[in-house]
Amino acid sequence: MSFKAAGFKHDAQFTRVRLSKGRNLKEHRSDFILCEYQTRPDVDLTEWDIQQVRAVYKRDEWRLQFVCRTTIDPEPPGEEVAGVDLGICNFAAVSFGGKSVLYPGGALKEDEYYFTKKKAKCDDSSSREATRLDWKRTGRRTHFLHALSKAIVEECVERSVGSLVVGNLGGIRENDETGGSRNWGDHGNLDLHGWAFDRFTTLLDYKAEAEGINVELVSERDTSKSCSACGHTDDNQRVERGLYVCEECDTVANADVNGAENIRQKVLPSLATDGGDRDNGWLAQPAVHLFDRSEGVFAPREQVVNREP
């Protein structure tokens, strides 16, 4: 239950809060619920502007959540720039211009297929069981997106990134020629439905802002066709899914990482023209961070595999 400003009164001196029962449940005007609470020693609610109080029943007890407003103006972690390419198989590929990280979306796809099949077995799409499945699928998707955006921002802070450039996928569901919805096939349409890239970008934006990192959306036009090492563009360079080979400079790269680096370079001078030798092995061999279901976080692939029974 949520109580907005008019529904609660906070007494910081005696660490308690008065909650209104609501107009329909009051027997008389002064009828209310008085709750005493305890916080961690490092939390002082007198320093916060409380906007809302939530009463949550969890593990056989009621807990109070105080939603507060604060103003932050953090310093950027550094001046480095990172690029993010969003996709379906790899939900995000991040280029730091010397290292790259892939974040596969396999866990999200598995959930979408599982819950779609389970819901199809329900006799009524509005039944209690169908509603329960929808809530559970939404909760798991939300957690995945939060975990992924948090992991990317933490990686950016560690690498002194002050600017995060993200490929803008606005209009990906629309057909450029007809103006209607684009058909990606049965599996493709299901993947795209669960992709939720717009929501993910929103989560990434506010988490990055809290760390002083600026997020900029740029066009993805030709980023999958151009070589990030030399700039040559050719429709045939993506020889197979996941592999990009440049016929001009012989660069071999992971296709998603190549796209992420092209996105990164949209706000930088082209690194291919700096006149120096540049090791591009990181383009072909990115680190891979998987979603660890047991912990609910992203971790390097070897750590997640080692935790599996």
pLDDT at 241: 67
SS3 253: strand
Give 70-96 as a 3 state SS string.
Answer: CCCCCCCCCCEEEEEEECCCEEEEEEC
Q: Tens digit of pLDDT for each residue in 270-308?
A: 554 444 445 678 999 999 999 999 899 999 998 887 665
- 170 or 194: which leads in pLDDT: 170
Q: Tens digit of pLDDT for each residue in 213-267?
A: 999 999 988 888 899 988 888 776 666 668 898 888 889 999 999 999 999 999 9
Beta bridge partners of 294: none
pLDDT at 70: 81
Under the banding of pLDDT at 50, 70 and 90, the label for residue 169 is: confident
Region for residue 141 given its phi and psi (left: phi exceeds 0; alpha: psi -120 to 50; beta: otherwise): alpha
Closest CA relative to residue 45, chosen from 72, 15, 18 = 15
SS3 63: strand
Q: Tens digit of pLDDT for each residue in 114-125?
A: 998 999 999 888
pLDDT at 143: 94
Q: Tens digit of pLDDT for each residue in 131-167?
A: 999 999 999 999 999 999 999 999 999 999 999 999 9
SS3 129: helix
Residue 193 has pLDDT above 80, yes or no: no
pLDDT at 197: 85
- Please give the mean pLDDT across all residues of the chain: 85
pLDDT at 136: 92
pLDDT at 73: 84
Under the banding of pLDDT at 50, 70 and 90, the label for residue 85 is: very high
Closest CA relative to residue 242, chosen from 12, 87, 138, 18 = 87
303 φ/ψ angles, rounded to the nearest 5 degrees: -70, -40
Residue 88 has pLDDT above 70, yes or no: yes
pLDDT at 6: 86
Q: Tens digit of pLDDT for each residue in 56-74?
A: 988 788 899 999 988 878 9
Range of lowest pLDDT (64-73, 174-183, 202-211, 272-281)? 174-183
Residue 236 CB contacts under 8 Å (≥ 6 apart), including other chains: 247
pLDDT at 185: 55
Residue 90 has pLDDT above 90, yes or no: yes
From residue 164, alpha-carbon distances to 31, 274, 303 in Å are 51, 22, 26
Domains of the chain: 2-69 (no CATH), 80-300 (3.30.420.140)
Q: What is the CA radius of gyration of the chain?
A: 24
Q: Is 88:195 a contact under the CB 8 Å cutoff?
A: yes
pLDDT at 123: 85
Q: How far is it, in rounded angstroms, from Cα 3 to Cα 21?
A: 10
Closest CA relative to residue 95, chosen from 108, 80, 110 = 80
DSSP state of 182: P
What is the length of the chain?
309
- Segment 100-108 mean pLDDT: 94
pLDDT at 273: 43
SS3 205: helix
pLDDT at 175: 44
